[in-house]
Each structure stands twice: as C-alpha cells, then as structure tokens.
C-alpha cells in the first residue's frame, strides 16, 4: 500500500510510517530553511499534521514527497511573512543564528562544509529554497518549478544568481578562483 493510501486508511499507522520514511529528509531541508533545529522540528511536525489532515487533496500524478515538500515550503513561507510583519510592527531585529550541521553528499572538509552551509543559509529565501531543492534534494528544474509555483525560467535564473553569490562568498574560503576552479 502506498504511503498516502495508508494515511487515508489509518491516520495513526500512516503517521508513524510518514515520520519513519520522510522525517529525516524533511528535517534536513527544514534545518537549512529555519537555521534552527527546534524550529525545524516544529516545521516538520506542522507539515506532517497538515499533510495528514489534507491527505484527500493529494493527486497521484505528483510524487508524494514533492507534495509534502510543497507543504513544508508553504508553511515556512507563511512563517517568514509573519516574522516580517512582526518585525515591521515592533521594530525588532532578528538575531543571527548559528549555522547548523546538515548532511552533505560529497566528502568535504568540516570547515568548508560549515562555510557552504552558512553561505546557503545567508541567501534570500527564494534562492536558498531553490539551491536546497536542486543540490540537496536533487530535484529537476521542472520539479522545482512545480514545487515553488514559478516558471522553469525563474528557477534557472534563481539558480544562476545563487551560484554567482555563493561563488563570490566562497571563493576565498574554499581556495577557488573565478568559476570555482582550484587556485
């Protein structure tokens, strides 16, 4: 039985399976988006709750994980809008949060990994989300466009701009010159 069908048939066992099969992967993405492990846990939990409540809205044409990821992104964006409104209302400035560790697929020096994570997290939200989906979630351009509800051209543009910013931020740290070539 597919995961979504189990959730629809039995929410309790479906929720356990959902957490077991998708929890770690969604949590890794949420940590990058939230910059905070506790906030990431909350984001993933709220994603699961919303997915379970709205399981009847899932369309089988799209991969189930993509549907979950879209829910995660929508909740995160809503949270960001609320924070911006609170900042404008109160005049408070959010403090910088220490970067958190996430798994990287390629072996990399821990100092370089920290620099990469910090740089990705410092990107504006649409660029951070796009980089996360492409390079950490290995999504295609079409999948990213669908998840973010933007045209493929916008995804390509965001990736190119994000890559330029990341290259500028990391060129000295990673010992690479222009274009990411070794010095």
What average pLDDT does the segment 108-112 reach? Answer: 65
- pLDDT confidence bin for 32, thresholds 50/70/90: confident
Domains and CATH numbers, the chain: 1-102 (1.10.1740.10), 104-183 (1.10.10.10)
11 contact partners, CB below 8 Å, separation of at least 6: 52
Q: What is the maximum alpha-carbon separation in the chain? A: 58
Supply the pLDDT for residue 56: 92
What average pLDDT does the segment 95-110 reach? Answer: 43
pLDDT in tens, 115-133: 787 888 888 888 988 988 8
pLDDT in tens, 42-89: 999 999 999 999 999 998 888 999 999 999 999 998 888 777 665 555
Helices (H), 35-181: 37-53, 64-90, 110-122, 125-131, 141-148, 152-170
User: To the nearest 5 percent, what fractions of the chain are helix, strand and coil?
Assistant: 75, 0, 25
Supply the pLDDT for residue 93: 39
Q: How far apart are CA 18 and CA 25, in angstroms?
A: 11
Question: CB–CB of 128/109 below 8 Å?
Answer: no
Question: CB–CB of 139/63 below 8 Å?
Answer: no
Residue 103 confidence (pLDDT) above 80: no
Supply the pLDDT for residue 7: 93
């Amino acid at each position: 039985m597919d995961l979504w069908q189990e959730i629809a048939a039995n929410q309790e066992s479906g929720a356990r399976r959902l957490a077991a099969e998708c929890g770690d992967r969604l949590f890794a993405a949420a940590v990058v988006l939230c910059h905070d492990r506790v906030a990431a846990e909350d984001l993933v939990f709220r994603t699961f709750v919303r997915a379970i409540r709205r399981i009847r809205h899932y369309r089988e044409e799209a991969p189930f994980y993509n549907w979950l990821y879209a829910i995660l992104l929508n909740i995160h964006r809503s949270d960001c809008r609320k924070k911006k409104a609170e900042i404008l209302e109160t005049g408070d400035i959010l403090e910088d949060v220490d970067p958190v560790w996430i798994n990287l697929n390629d072996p990399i020096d821990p100092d370089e990994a920290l620099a990469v994570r910090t740089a990705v997290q410092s990107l504006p939200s649409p660029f951070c989300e796009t980089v996360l989906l492409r390079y950490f979630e290995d999504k295609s351009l079409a999948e990213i466009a669908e998840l973010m509800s933007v045209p493929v051209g916008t995804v390509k543009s965001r990736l190119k701009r994000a890559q330029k910013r990341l290259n500028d931020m990391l060129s000295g740290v990673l010992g690479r010159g222009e274009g990411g070539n070794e010095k």
